[in-house]
């Protein structure tokens, strides 16, 4: 596996003051990846999809007091531009990107906390590159192929995408929230911004609009319809922990997380908050994550 670094920093120095962030970029096939490194100590990678590095800043800073924390913008999102913006995002591609970043940093085997689509990325990483992973904490992976009504849900995903193209983001997000059984405002888009369907998203940042388009057209289906190799995850080297938000009861990621844990022969580990617990309750989330890692 070859990588081409396009920036010289690789990690924060051991004596770096608290809050120091080292950023870098790395060329991978078809993409220029943005990554950030904080702290020193055992390596923890925090991974989202479509959320990028910025969403994990509060949690990363809490963990960086005694860990080297790696965050990144996934391919095609934020500061990780693609050569071909119309390329679809798959968990396998995103896992390969993360593998390249970890190898470039000499950071492994690592703990990988993935949330939402990032949890799917982390599972794909554990399958394809088990030597680079010590523990995967898959927080609320939206693995709809594990559910009994998978065909109906596939049709619902197709309808969301068609609605985005025909009617715009407001209508598409309304369908997304209804299908996810989410009543309150939460992670409504790559940036976490709340949609405002009645006024058509006025004065939105162009990057946010582009990231949202990529999510609906090139990432949503590939992530939700990915089916893990459960046997490989169960018998492979990395420890796999399925995380579930205490406030996510009845939501689609409650169903998918529970289904994955059942197939792995484990129980979901409850984390504070709901699907966005790491954003909304970072201190409590960090404490729970430390407990999970200590238990391993």
- Amino acid 7: pLDDT: 43
SS3 168: coil
Query: For the chain, percent helix, then strand, then coil, each to nearest 5?
Result: 45, 20, 40
Beta-strand ranges (E) seen in the chain are 4-5, 21-28, 31-38, 43-47, 68-72, 110-115, 133-139, 239-245, 269-271
- CA separation (Å) from 69 to 60, 106, 129? 6, 13, 19
Are 9 and 37 in contact by the 8 Å Cβ rule? The answer is yes
pTM: 0.89
- Amino acid 188: pLDDT: 40
- Amino acid 20: pLDDT: 86
Are 72 and 47 in contact by the 8 Å Cβ rule? The answer is yes
What is the residue extent of each domain of the chain?
Answer: 21-142+226-295, 149-220
Fold type of domain 21-142+226-295: Rossmann fold (3.40.50)
pLDDT tens, the chain, 296 aa long: 333 334 433 334 444 455 689 999 999 999 999 999 999 999 999 999 999 999 999 999 999 999 999 999 999 999 999 999 999 999 999 999 999 999 999 987 999 999 999 999 999 999 999 999 999 999 999 999 999 999 999 999 999 999 999 999 999 999 999 999 987 444 444 434 444 444 555 678 999 999 999 999 999 999 999 999 999 999 989 999 999 999 999 999 999 999 999 999 999 999 999 999 999 999 999 999 999 999 97
- Amino acid 131: pLDDT: 96
DSSP 184-197: S----STT-PPP-T
- Amino acid 224: pLDDT: 97
- Amino acid 202: pLDDT: 62
- Amino acid 120: pLDDT: 98
Are 150 and 253 in contact by the 8 Å Cβ rule? The answer is no
Q: Of 228, 266, 79, nearest to 145 (Cα)?
A: 228
Separation CA 117–CA 90 (nearest Å):
10
């Amino acid at each position: 596996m070859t990588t081409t670094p396009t920036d010289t920093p690789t990690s924060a120095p051991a004596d770096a003051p608290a809050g120091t962030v080292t950023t870098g970029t790395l060329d991978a096939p078809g993409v220029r990846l943005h990554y950030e490194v904080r702290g020193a100590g055992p390596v923890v990678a925090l991974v989202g999809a479509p959320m990028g590095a910025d969403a994990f800043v509060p949690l990363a800073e809490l963990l960086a007091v005694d860990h080297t924390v790696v965050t990144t913008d996934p391919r095609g999102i934020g500061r990780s531009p693609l050569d071909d913006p119309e390329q679809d995002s798959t968990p396998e591609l995103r896992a390969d990107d993360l593998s390249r970043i970890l190898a470039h940093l000499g950071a492994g085997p690592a703990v990988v906390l993935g949330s939402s689509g990032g949890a799917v990325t982390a599972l794909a990483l554990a399958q394809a590159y088990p030597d680079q992973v010590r523990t995967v904490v898959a927080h609320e992976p939206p693995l709809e192929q594990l559910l009994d009504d998978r065909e109906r849900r596939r049709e619902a995903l197709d309808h969301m995408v068609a609605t985005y193209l025909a009617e715009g983001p407001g209508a598409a997000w309304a369908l997304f929230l209804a299908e996810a059984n989410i009543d309150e405002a939460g992670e409504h888009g790559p940036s976490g911004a709340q949609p405002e369907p009645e006024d058509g998203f006025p004065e939105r940042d162009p990057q946010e609009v582009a990231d949202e388009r990529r999510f609906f057209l090139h990432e949503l289906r590939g992530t939700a319809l990915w089916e893990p190799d459960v046997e490989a995850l169960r018998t492979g080297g990395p420890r796999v922990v399925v995380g579930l938000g205490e406030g996510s009861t009845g939501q689609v990621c409650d169903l998918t997380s529970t289904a994955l844990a059942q197939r792995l022969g484990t129980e979901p580990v409850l984390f504070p908050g709901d699907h966005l617990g790491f954003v909304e309750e970072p201190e409590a989330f960090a404490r729970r994550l430390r407990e999970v890692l200590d238990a391993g």
